[in-house]
Amino acid sequence: MRIFKTKRFHKWASNEGLSDEVLSIAVDEMEHGLIDANLGGNVYKKRISLQDRGKRSGVRTLLAFKQEECTFFMYGFAKNERSNIKDDELKALKAYARELLGYSDRALNKALQAKKLFEVINDGE
């Protein structure tokens, strides 16, 4: 499974201290059925703990996820920043997920080269 971060998510995750290893673990959990919420349209919510603080005081991530294919981390927020996303935001994320999950290998490579996407690298695997 290939895992990617959007440019916006990459910047946010760096500021929050979310490593690629932590993101890889979250996707592995999802592949094993540990999903916090299926929001429809291949958009999922996944809680991630931050440095020994536990999942309750961690962050929430929204991903475009297709089992055994690829995952795109699209958006993230701290629980203390907001409780959830709005309906219009979810609608936009579903459209974005459809676009991302439809990328060909060529489109993925082009987005990676343009630094619009970043591939999650887990050296611990």
> Who has greater pLDDT, 50 or 61?
61
Instruction: Tell me the average pLDDT across 1-5.
Output: 94
Is the pLDDT at 102 greater than 90? The verdict is yes
In this predicted model, what pLDDT tens digit does every residue of 25-57 receive, in sequence order?
999 999 999 999 999 999 999 999 876 655 556
What is the pLDDT, as a whole number, of residue 52?
Answer: 61
Spell out the alpha helix ranges (H) of 20-102: 20-31, 87-101
pLDDT of residue 53: 57
Radius of gyration, CA atoms only, the chain: 14
CA of 100: how far to CAs of 57, 73, 119, in Å? 29, 10, 13
Q: How far apart are CA 72 and CA 5, in angstroms?
A: 5
More confident position, 1 or 52: 1
Q: Enumerate the domain spans of the chain.
A: 2-119
pTM for the full predicted model: 0.91
| CA 73, 19, 104, 66 torsion-angle sign | negative
Arithmetic mean of pLDDT, 78-95: 88
